Homo-oligomer: A and B are copies of this chain.
């Protein structure tokens, strides 16, 4: 059951290649979304397809590895913004941060749009983001800068819409956020 101790250290070239693959995949996914071909990833990484598959046994595994990593970044950065004094402003910054990330990463905008819909409680990224939103909303409501009917479900939809607007280049997403936030103000 336990790992065989008599194992050699992983070869250094293997490790180097793993990094290359991750790097290439991250770039390609950000550039054109997750419908990039595995062979393309390998080519850009300067690696054979076989190697790519040794590192990530499945296309999905590769995508997941990267999306997870990216998501963690978003969440961490967002959590930092929570600590600002003005919670309403915090919410604004939070959304702008998400927008900033998504507009630089097509792949993420695809993932986020879908993730905000998945009703599975297992969707950690969404849970984390909404947890942050929950705190901000509550604090803002206490100050009367956000309406009382507002819930995380609202933020959920707003983010889902935001992802769509960005992904389809449907307009100025900053303006979209402005409108949405105005919509959350107390009546």
Which residues of B have CB within 8 Å of A187?
A: 182
Q: Is the interface of A mostly helix, strand, loop or mixed?
A: helix
Distance, CA A154 to CA B182, complexed state (A): 13
Indicate if A24 sits at the interface (CB-CB under 8 A).
no
Q: Which of A157, A162, A169, A181 has the most CB of B within 10 A?
A: A157
Question: Is B168 in contact with A154, judged by CB distance below 8 angstroms?
Answer: no
A155 shortest CB reach to chain B, Å:
9
Does A6 count as interface, using CB distance less than 8 angstroms? Answer: no
Contacting A157 at CB < 8 Å: which of B165, B184, B185? B165
- A residues at B contact (CB < 8 Å): 113-114, 116-119, 153-154, 156-158, 160-165, 167-173, 175-176, 178-185, 187
Residues on the B chain within 8 Å of A175, using CB: 153-154, 157
Those 4 A-B pairs whose CB atoms lie nearest each other, nearest first:
A161-B161, A117-B168, A164-B164, A183-B183
Nearest opposing residue in chain B for A153, CB measure: B171
A–B Cβ pairs within 8 angstroms, 10 of them = A116-B168, A117-B170, A153-B171, A153-B175, A160-B161, A160-B165, A160-B168, A160-B171, A163-B164, A178-B183
| Extra pairs beyond A117-B169, A160-B164, A180-B183 (11, CB < 8 Å) | A153-B171, A154-B175, A154-B176, A154-B179, A157-B172, A157-B176, A160-B170, A161-B162, A161-B176, A182-B183, A183-B183
